[in-house]
C-alpha cells in the first residue's frame, strides 16, 4: 500500500493525545517533534546532560572536608521523578612530594535542602575514606596528574527538582598543599608548565 499521510492545516500542529487529552507527540508548525512531559522513557535512556569546565587554578590547605572547588558545580532541573544521575568528572591535581602528600575528594549533592555528602561513594566507617584520591608523585613536579571518576547516584527526587553537585577535596595536612589544575611547582605558561582543563558532567538516566 502507499504512504498514509496525516497533514494539518498550514497554521496548525499535528497532535497525538491519550484519552484524557494529554499531548504525547506534537509537531511544530514548521518541522520537528516535541515529546510531552508525560512520555515514559525506556530504562537507561539518557534524558539530559549538563557539564561544567574549569581552567582556573585553586590551592587547598584545609584539614577537613568542608572546602569546595569553586565555580565547579554541575547542575540541572530533573525532567522525571526518581531518575538516576550519572556523575562523571575528570580532574587534574598537583600534590606535594614528601611523606604526607596527595589529595582525597568527596562528592556532595544539593537537592534544594542544602548540600549533603553522597555517602554511597565511599566507606562511611573510615574518616579518611573518599570517592577518589590523587597521590603525590615524583619525576615531574610541574605537571598535574589527571584522574577520572564516575558514580551512578540515586537521589529519589521529584521531577522539576534542581540538583547541583560539588566536590570537596582534602590534603593530608596544611603543610602539604594541593593544587587544582596546576602542578606543585608552577610559574608561567612560557616556561612550559602544563595548565589543563577539568570537567564535571551530569546525565539524567531514566529509571
Residue ranges covered by each domain of the chain: 1-39, 41-205
Average pLDDT taken over every residue of the chain:
85
pLDDT level of residue 46 (50, 70, 90 thresholds)? very high
Residue 140 scores a pLDDT above 70: no
Weakest mean pLDDT among 6-15, 23-32, 71-80, 179-188: 23-32
Question: Exposure string (b/e) for 136-146, b if CB count within 10 Å is 16 or more?
Answer: bbeeebebbbe
Q: What is the structure's pLDDT at 31?
A: 58
Distance CA 170, CA 115 (A): 17
Compare 206 and 27 and report the one with higher pLDDT: 206
CATH number of 41-205: 2.60.120.1340
The C-alpha cell at 133 is 584520591
Weakest mean pLDDT among 122-136, 162-176, 177-191: 177-191
Read off the pLDDT of each residue in 71-87 and give the average, rounded to a whole number. Answer: 97
Distance CA 57, CA 184 (A): 11
Q: Which residue has the cell 605537571?
A: 143
Read off the pLDDT of each residue in 2-10 and give the average, rounded to a whole number. Answer: 68
| Other CB atoms within 10 A of residue 117 CB | 16
Q: What is the structure's pLDDT at 192?
A: 46
The answer to whether the CB of 183 falls within 8 A of the CB of 142 is: yes
Q: What is the structure's pLDDT at 1?
A: 60
Which letter does DSSP use for residue 176 in this model? Answer: S
Residue 190 scores a pLDDT above 60: no
The C-alpha cell at 163 is 540538583
Q: What is the structure's pLDDT at 182?
A: 86
Weakest mean pLDDT among 56-60, 86-90, 201-205: 56-60
Amino acid at each position: 500500500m502507499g504512504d498514509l499521510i496525516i497533514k494539518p492545516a498550514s497554521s496548525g500542529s499535528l497532535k497525538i493525545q491519550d484519552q484524557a487529552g494529554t499531548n504525547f507527540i506534537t509537531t511544530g508548525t514548521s518541522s520537528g517533534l516535541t515529546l510531552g512531559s508525560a512520555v515514559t522513557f525506556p530504562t537507561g535512556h539518557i534524558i539530559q546532560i549538563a557539564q561544567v569546565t574549569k581552567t582556573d587554578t585553586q590551592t587547598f590547605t584545609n584539614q577537613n572536608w568542608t572546602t569546595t572547588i569553586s565555580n565547579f558545580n554541575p547542575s540541572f532541573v530533573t525532567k522525571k521523578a526518581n531518575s538516576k544521575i550519572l556523575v562523571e568528572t575528570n580532574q587534574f591535581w598537583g600534590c606535594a612530594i614528601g611523606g604526607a602528600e596527595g589529595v582525597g575528594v568527596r562528592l556532595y549533592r544539593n537537592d534544594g535542602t542544602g548540600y549533603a555528602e553522597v555517602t554511597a561513594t565511599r566507606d562511611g566507617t573510615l574518616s579518611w575514606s573518599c570517592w577518589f584520591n590523587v597521590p603525590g608523585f615524583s619525576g615531574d613536579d610541574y605537571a598535574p596528574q589527571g584522574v577520572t571518576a564516575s558514580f551512578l547516584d540515586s537521589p529519589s527526587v521529584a521531577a522539576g527538582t534542581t540538583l547541583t553537585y560539588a566536590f570537596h577535596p582534602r590534603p593530608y595536612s596544611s603543610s602539604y598543599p594541593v593544587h587544582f589544575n596546576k602542578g606543585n611547582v608552577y610559574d608561567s605558561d612560557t616556561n612550559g608548565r602544563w595548565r589543563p582543563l577539568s570537567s564535571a558532567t551530569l546525565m539524567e538516566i531514566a529509571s
